[in-house]
Amino acid sequence: MTAVATKTCAPLARVSGDDLQVPLVQGGTTTYANFDYAASAPALAQVTDRVQQLLPFYASVHRGAGYASRISTECYEGARASVTRFLDAADDQVVVFTRNTTDSLNLLAACVPGDTVVLDIEHHANFLPWTEHGRRVVRAGDTIEETIRLLVAELCTKPAALLAVTGASNVTGEVLPLERLAQIAHQCGARILVDAAQLAPHRRISLRDTGIDYLAFSGHKLYAPFGAGVLVGRRDWLDQAEPYLAGGGAVREVTTTGAQWAPAPQRHEAGSPNVLGAAALAAACDALCQIDPETLIAHERELAERLRAGLSAIPGVTQLRLWADSPDIVGIVAFTVDGFAPGEVAAYLSAEHGIGVRDGRFCAHPFLARLGLDGALRASIGLGSHSADVDRLVDAVAALVANGPGWQYAQTAGLWNPTPETRNFTDGAAGAAACL
């Protein structure tokens, strides 16, 4: 075994699919090793339980007099309270339910009364929405301190309404000093938005203590893959902006010549809401609140350090970082393997070892360009991760470097696949559907 660490580390929580059996290209099956939490995390057991409990009561919300409608309404509005507690939101901050982080940031972009300053290392969700709303891009420095100096210079040179930053990089997992950036933004007359899609599943965040004005995250990265996200933030901009969508639920009164719009959050939640998604997200927030933050961090760091140490011992494997002085790193490890395309490595890990990682540019093209890469691999850790899976990943990469793949691989329509492909995805999909 290549992994350096010997201490075992068990999962911190039960997640759906933790005993999933997947076929191998060479024959047989193995338990799936999921290292793609940063893309979409599996549902927590508490989340699936909550959805199952609510399904019999699923009905229209807000205007239904029936018992089921009243229950659904209570669950939907109660979900806002769960998110508020999870983020320790301030009294003037409201919770708007959306589809995901991208949806949340597009909503906020239409509300910002001025320019928005962003870094060049952002995920596309926190880079593209500001394009038509006065986006100003700052090239991140080679250290946190240099990056902060560049942001201060930009904010001081010309007033901006908003500073929009990632909480934790979806490429490297590096964390910015958010409380410090909030203070800087406020001193320069701006507000701050944090894309917490990668941070919220790993670290507890207090909006009240940090001074963060707006924050967005996705349920599908927070162990609640039921199609909901949130935008939490100060009410005034949200109340003054045009509704994100025009339709029922966002109005107080409608005539043939106009409409009187409701205040936030209803102002930006037109149409029938995703009640089950909101309930699932709230259940995930409640479950994470029950886990001691230090225990969560210790579990994640133990596994991440084990993975980093194991990969460091393999010749030709390079791990990606931007800032040596980052105050924290969440459980994300991005790397390359000399002599192999990232897609080929990912296909090999899946086909021959039953291991799922992400490959590509991670919807952060400018960041990968900064690193001089057109692709990489990313292994991400979550509550269901454990040391045996980390060792499997390290050993599989070591075997690839030492001996090459045991199967042939080729690109088809831009995707790497084993040739021949012996796994039957159609039957697998049919089997999954039959379980519903």
| Nearest-angstrom CA–CA distance, 175 and 328 | 5
Rounded Cα distance, 326 and 187, in Å: 23
Distance separating alpha carbons of residues 108 and 122, to the nearest angstrom: 16
Print burial letters for 328-362: b (CB count within 10 Å at least 16), e (below 16). Answer: ebbbbbbbbbeebbbbbbbbbbbbbbbbbbbbbbb
Could you confirm whether 363 is annotated as catalytic? yes
Instruction: Assign residue 177 a region (left: φ > 0; alpha: ψ between -120 and 50; beta: otherwise).
Output: beta
Quick one: angle between helices 387-403 and 293-312, nearest 10? Answer: 20
Cα-Cα-Cα-Cα dihedral sign, residues 199, 320, 359, 164: positive
CA quadruple 405, 411, 416, 421: dihedral positive or negative? Answer: negative
How many Cβ atoms are within 10 Å of 178's Cβ, its own excluded? 24
The pair of three-digit structure tokens given for residue 324, joined into one six-digit string: 């040596």
Q: Which two tokens stand for residue 406?
A: 């045991």
Q: Give the active site residue among 9, 156, 289, 363.
A: 363
Crossing angle (nearest 10°) for helices 45-54 and 275-289: 140
CA-wise closest residue to 390 among 318, 306, 329: 306
What gap in Å lies between CA 68 and CA 70, rounded to an integer? Answer: 5
Comparing CA positions, the residue from 286, 379, 347, 307 lying closest to residue 86 is 286
**Which residues participate in catalysis according to the annotation?**
363
